[in-house]
Amino acid sequence: MPEGHTIRHLADVHAAHFGGKVLQASSPQGRFATEAWTISGREMTDVTARGKHLFFHFDGDVVHIHLGLYGWFTLVPGVAPKPKDTVRLRLQNDDTTSDLIGPTKCELLTETGRHKIIERLGVDPISYDPTTDEELRERKFHKILSSKKSIAELLMDQSIIAGIGNVYRAEILFRAGQNPFTPGRELMPEILDAMWDDARRLLKLGAEDGMIRAVEPEHLLNEEQRRYKYGQFSYVYKRNGQLCRICGGVIESISLGNRTVYWCPGCQE
C-alpha cells in the first residue's frame, strides 16, 4: 500500500475529517494505549507528511506513523464499528472513525523528535518547492551522480529522495528508459532530471486518490482500459515473465538488496 503518494493522500483525508477538531483516541490492540490516552479529547491542530512519514499534531505533541510494508488505515463514516483486536490506533469523532493496523512505527513525539526525523530524510517529490528546497535537491542529486551504487538502490534510499518505493522505482526507471543497474556516477544528469520531474508528476497524481497511475492510457490493453479507474497497472512492476507493453520483450526481475527489481531489458538497456 504505502509509498509517498499514499501517505500524502492519508494526510489529506485525515486533515479533512479530523483537522481542527477534537477527537477521541484509543488503542484496542494496546500497544499505543498510554499515548492514545494522552492525545484523546484534544484537538488535532495539524497534519503533515514527509516522504513515507505521517504526523498528526496535537499542539506540541506529535503522533508519528510509518506504515512499513503493510500497515494501513481504514476510515469508516458514521457509527464506530467494533474494532478488530489488531487496531493499534483508533481516532474518532462524531462522524468518522479511522483505524490504524500494522504500522511499523506509531509513536508519540515532540516537535523536536519530528524535526530529527525530517532532518534525515531526502527531498520529497510531492512537497518539493523550488524556492525553498532547491539547495537540498542539488545536494542529493550530487550524491546520486557521484555514487557507485546502482540507480535502483539510490532511488529507494529515503535519505536521498523521500517517498519513492518499489513500485514507483520500477515504473520511473522504465518510463525514463533507464537501466536499473547503472551506477549513479555513470547516470546522464538529464536522465536524472527527467526522472525527478516524472516522479513529482506521478506521485502527485497518485496522491489524489492514493492509487498509483504510472501507465499512460494509450499503453493499456483494451480490456484494461475499461477498468482503468479501478485498477492499478504497471509497465514492469510485478510483470516479470509477461510481455512488455512497448517492445513486446519479456519483463525480468531480480532480487537486489532485500527488494525485487523489475525491468524490461529491451527498453532499459
Partner DNA sequence: ACCCTATGACTAG
Partner DNA sequence: TAGTCCTAGGGTT
Binding residues (CB under 7 A) for DNA: these are 1-3, 6, 29, 51-52, 66-71, 84, 86, 88, 101-104, 156, 158, 165-167, 212, 232, 238, 257-260
Burial 116-143 (b: 16+ CB within 10 A, else e): ebeeebbbbbbbbeeeeeeeebeebbeb
C-alpha grid cell, residue 63: 503522533
Q: Which is nearer to DNA, 40 or 260 (CB)?
A: 260
Q: Which is nearer to DNA, 19 or 183 (CB)?
A: 183
Q: Which is nearer to DNA, 22 or 69 (CB)?
A: 69
Count of CB atoms within 10 A of residue 221's CB?
9
Q: Which is nearer to DNA, 8 or 245 (CB)?
A: 8
Q: Supply the minimum distance, in Å, between the C-beta of residue 22 and DNA.
A: 26
CA–CA distance, 138 with 93 (Å, rounded to integer): 43
Catalytic amino acids?
Answer: 2-3, 52, 259
CA–CA distance, 18 with 22 (Å, rounded to integer): 7
Give how far Cα 180 sits from Cα of 95, 176, 254, Å. 46, 10, 11
Q: Supply the minimum distance, in Å, between the C-beta of residue 25 and DNA.
A: 16
CA–CA distance, 263 with 247 (Å, rounded to integer): 12
Greatest distance between any 2 Cα atoms in the chain: 58
